[in-house]
Amino acid sequence: MSFSNLERKVSLAKSKYGRGFSLLELLVVVSIIAVLAATLVPIYMNAKRSAARSKCQSNLRQIANAFELYTSDHSGCYPNLDNQYLWSGFYWREPIRDYVARSKSDDKNSVLSCPSDPTPPGIYAATSYAYSASFYMTPDQVNAIENSDYIRAKFAATNPKLPCATIKTSMVKFGKKKVLVAEYWTLHSENPKVGWYDDLETTGNDPWSGSRNYLFADGHVVHLETKRIHPAVSPVVSRPRSLPDINLTCDGVAGKDVD
């Protein structure tokens, strides 16, 4: 076989089996991949977010069981350590520690830690949730609030006339409408402007886009837009309007946090 005949056969083989893509075909393939990516990535992200939200809600249901066991063992009383900062994860987790399904309390896999919480485990004791101050303040104390600094200033050591109060389950008038524990916004953002109550004036990474998981006093858990929570009884000093705040809703445990 001559060299020219061999070259001709190779050329025919290439044209039959090894033809490269044209520019148009490459553009079509790239376009298809782009469309698939634009379609599938949001679906994947939504599924991932939904899974994290479900895990967070499962955590809150277990916390609900812990509070039920605690109140059963303490004559129907909610935790009160006579500490104005009891709402913080540093403190409220202590009274219910023995009632929570045990993984290490500082473990990111603990029921006290939301899977979407970016805060390192050692900060805030890896507790992504806060306990409503309404459950250790009387309704009269809540209604006497002058501003959002009440919990810090009015309950301070220099104000012994306003100690924390022991609240009983029988004092909760609207269990389906009163939030007991909720996600704490600050732990879901590296750069928060305010606390757990505000979705209106925040910066940073909010995994739920202005919503939170809430555990109500009757034990049910629901994902709500924070703007559905009733406003605090008095305006925040630095802002002209009241913000949603389960700590400071009018009438405390005798009132409602949602309609």
pLDDT of residue 9: 53
Q: Distance (Å, rounded) from C-alpha 107 to C-alpha 84? A: 26
Range of the domain at 159: 3-254
3-state secondary structure of 64: helix
Cα 45 to Cα 26, 51, 72, 188, distances in angstroms: 28, 10, 41, 17
Mean pLDDT of 23-52: 77
pLDDT in tens, 142-153: 887 665 455 555
Q: Domain for residue 86, yes or no?
A: yes
Residue 206 within any structural domain of the chain: yes
**Distance, CA of 213 to CA of 235 (rounded, Å):** 24
Q: Report the pLDDT value the prediction gives residue 231, as an integer from 0 to 100.
A: 78
**Residue 198, in any domain of the structure:** yes
Each residue's pLDDT tens digit, 199-252: 444 444 444 456 789 999 999 999 988 778 887 776 555 444 556 778 778 899
Share of the chain above pLDDT 90, in %: 25
The structural domain count of the chain equals: 1
Q: What is the mean pLDDT of residues 69-85?
A: 91
56 domain-assigned: yes
Calpha distance 185→198 (Å, rounded): 8
Residue 45's identity, in one-letter code, is M
259 domain-assigned: no
State yes or no: pLDDT of 64 exceeds 60.
yes
Could you give the C-alpha distances from 66 to 158, 163, 170, 235, in angstroms and in order? 33, 25, 18, 33
Which pTM was predicted? 0.72
Residue 88 lies in a domain: yes
